[in-house]
């Protein structure tokens, strides 16, 4: 069974959706700088929007801290949870009362 931690990559940020069924879907990262950011195509966003329970993306290092871009993206999708995957942990964020809140930290062993 695929786990979010399986998507961590030290070379490029990866991204996708967790569907309401529990399925984890990866989509292409169309960012001009995929080593330092991610972007989902409008086509993929529209394809999965109604089925999505959460978004996810990876960071290429040990940190699951939010970038400013992450923060504003999450605020614009308050109906979803949002996961950030780093080398050693998966961090879940949600939006409550127009604030991005850290909800859960799960460690994993990608050494």
The full set of domain ranges for the chain reads 4-107
Residue 27's region, left for phi above 0, alpha for psi from -120 to 50, else beta, is beta
Question: From CA 77, how far away is CA 36, in angstroms rounded?
Answer: 21
Question: From CA 38, how far away is CA 24, in angstroms rounded?
Answer: 17
Tell me the pTM.
Answer: 0.93
Give the C-alpha distances (Å, rounded to integers) separating 15 from 4, 69, 70, 98. 10, 14, 12, 23
User: Which tens digit of pLDDT belongs to each residue from 4-42?
Assistant: 999 999 999 999 999 999 999 999 999 999 999 999 999
Query: Which superfamily does 4-107 belong to?
Result: Cytidine Deaminase, domain 2 (3.40.140.10)
DSSP calls for 12-24: S--EEEEETTS-E
């Amino acid at each position: 069974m695929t786990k979010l931690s399986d998507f961590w990559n030290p070379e490029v940020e990866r991204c996708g959706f967790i569907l309401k069924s529990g399925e984890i879907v990866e989509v292409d990262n169309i960012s001009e700088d995929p080593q330092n950011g991610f972007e989902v195509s409008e086509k993929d966003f529209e394809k999965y929007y109604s089925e999505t329970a959460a978004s996810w993306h990876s960071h290429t290092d040990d940190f699951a801290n939010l970038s400013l871009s992450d923060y504003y993206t999450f605020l614009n999708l308050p109906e979803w949870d949002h996961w950030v995957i780093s080398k050693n942990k998966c961090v879940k964020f949600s939006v409550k009362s127009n604030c991005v809140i850290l909800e859960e930290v799960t460690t994993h062993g990608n050494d």
